[in-house]
Structure 1
Amino acid sequence: MKNKLGDLNNHLFAALERLSDEDLNSDQIEQEAKRADAIVSVADKIIGNADLQLKAAKLWAEHGSQIMPMLPKIGSSDQ
Structure 2
Amino acid sequence: MTTRGGTLHAPAGVRVDDGERPPTRLPLVVYVLTLGTFLMGTTEFVVAGLLITVFAVGMIVGAPLTAAGVRT
Instruction: Please indicate the TM-score interval, normalised by the length of the shorter structure.
Output: 0.3 to 0.5
Q: Which has the higher strand share?
A: 2
The alignment's TM-score, normalised by the length of structure 1, stands at 0.44
Query: Which has the higher relative contact order, 1 or 2, with Cα contacts under 8 A spaced 6 or more apart?
Result: 1
More helix by share: 1
